Amino acid sequence: MKHTKHYWRAGFLLVGGLIGFIFVRHFLVPTSFGQFGFYRGTNLAEQQAKSVVHGGKESCSTCHEDVAKNHAAGSHAVVQCENCHAALSKHINKDGEFVELMPIDRSPQLCLRCHRSLPSRPTGFPQIETKEHLGLDEPELQAGACLACHNSHRPSLEKKKVKYENNG
């Protein structure tokens, strides 16, 4: 029993560490933690106090009813407005007042984000190879390349067989 001094030191360190952990945890864990399982009870009020950033199609259709009807009838009906346009908060503030015009991305890269031909996409999903689709050897896509033939809210509406020419 003469060589047990190191066991006592290790035991005191473990007990002291455990007491320190419990003491610090008491001050770091909010009082409402555990009110609803492993969640803070006050979190709901905190989330409700935040301003809305994304609004969804319903928010846009209150002012843009004609565009919403056209969009709902097209193949992009399941696509949210904010997938192509910016978040609602860039256009309307939390009081519903106009802030600035909605930024519109007319770049083909936006369309190709969903419609570029990829083997991982479902076979029935509309995909294109840009070289073949536009009839160019080396396509240098400019803004409006897709919109020259397609209405982005209802792509099949104005679909035309037109060879896109890059006007550099």
* 145, 126: one domain: yes
Per-residue pLDDT tens over the stretch 77-135: 888 888 888 888 888 887 888 888 887 888 888 888 888 888 888 888 888 888 788 77
What pLDDT is stored for residue 13 in this prediction? 96
Number of domain units in the chain: 2
Let me know if residue 30 belongs to a domain. Answer: no
0.75 exceeded by the pTM? no
* 83, 128: one domain: no
Let me know if residue 82 belongs to a domain. Answer: yes
Find the angle CA(98)-CA(102)-CA(105) to the nearest 5 degrees. Answer: 175
Instruction: Look up the domain containing 99 and give its range.
Output: 52-104
Let me know if residue 27 belongs to a domain. Answer: no
Let me know if residue 8 belongs to a domain. Answer: no
* 164, 113: one domain: yes
Let me know if residue 21 belongs to a domain. Answer: no
* 120, 132: one domain: yes
Neighbour tally for 105: CB within 10 Å: 14
Let me know if residue 29 belongs to a domain. Answer: no
* 112, 158: one domain: yes
Tell me what the pLDDT averaged over the chain comes to. 81
pLDDT over 60 at 160, yes or no = no
- Contacts of residue 111, Cβ cutoff 8 Å, sequence gap at least 6: 146, 150, 152
State which of 64, 80, 104 marks the end of a domain.
104
Per-residue pLDDT tens over the stretch 17-38: 999 999 999 999 888 888 888 8
* 111, 159: one domain: yes
Amino acid at 154: R
